[in-house]
Amino acid sequence: MCSWPVPREPLRRVAVTGGTHGNEMSGIYLVRHWLRAPGEPQRPSFSATPVLANPAATAACRCYVGRDLNRTFTSAFLTATAHPGDPYEVTRAQELNRLVGPKDSGRAFAFILDLHNTTANMAACLFVDNAHDAFALHLCRHLQLQSPELPCRVFLSQVPGKESFHLDSIAKNGMTLELGPQPQGVLRADLFTRMRALVAAALDFIELFNQGTALPAFEMEAYRSLSFVDFPRTEAGDLAGTVHPQLQDRDFEPLRPGAPIFQMFSGEDVLYEGESTVHPVFINEAAYYEKGIAFFQTEKLTFSVPALPALAPTTTRGP
Is residue 4 very low, low, confident or very high in pLDDT (cuts 50, 70, 90)? low
Average pLDDT over residues 202-216: 97
Cβ pair 155, 125 in contact under 8 A: yes
Please write the tens of the pLDDT for every residue from 134-157: 999 999 999 999 999 999 999 998
Average pLDDT over residues 198-215: 97
Q: Is the pLDDT of residue 316 over 50?
A: no
Q: Is the pLDDT of residue 120 over 70?
A: yes
Please write the tens of the pLDDT for every residue from 38-74: 999 999 999 999 999 999 999 999 999 999 999 999 9
pTM for this entry: 0.95
Which CATH number characterizes residue 91's domain? 3.40.630.10
On whether residue 26 sits in a domain, the answer given is yes
At residue 139, φ and ψ (nearest 5 deg) are -65, -45
**Dihedral in degrees, nearest 10, Cα atoms 83, 89, 94, 97:** -170
Is residue 314 very low, low, confident or very high in pLDDT (cuts 50, 70, 90)? low
On whether residue 249 sits in a domain, the answer given is no
Q: 245-280 burial string, b = 16+ CB within 10 Å, else e?
A: eebeebbbeebeeebbbbbeeeeeebebebeeebbb
> Any idea what DSSP says for residue 168?
G
Average pLDDT over residues 101-120: 97
On whether residue 292 sits in a domain, the answer given is no
pLDDT given for residue 3 in this prediction:
41
On whether residue 185 sits in a domain, the answer given is yes
Q: Which domain holds residue 184?
A: 14-221+304-315
| Angstrom distance (rounded) from CA 102 to CA 138 | 25
Edge-to-edge strand list for the sheet holding 269-271: 241-243, 260-264, 269-271
Give me the helices (H) in the chain, please. 25-36, 55-60, 75-78, 88-100, 134-146, 189-210
> Higher-confidence residue: 161 or 272?
272
| Angstrom distance (rounded) from CA 164 to CA 287 | 20
Average pLDDT of the chain is 95
| Angstrom distance (rounded) from CA 11 to CA 30 | 22
> Percentage of the chain surpassing pLDDT 70?
97
The residues with which 262 forms a beta bridge, in sequence order, are 243, 270
Q: Is the pLDDT of residue 168 over 70?
A: yes
The structural domain count of the chain equals 1
On whether residue 242 sits in a domain, the answer given is no
At residue 263, φ and ψ (nearest 5 deg) are -115, 115
Is residue 312 very low, low, confident or very high in pLDDT (cuts 50, 70, 90)? confident
On whether residue 84 sits in a domain, the answer given is yes
On whether residue 278 sits in a domain, the answer given is no
pLDDT given for residue 133 in this prediction:
93
On whether residue 59 sits in a domain, the answer given is yes
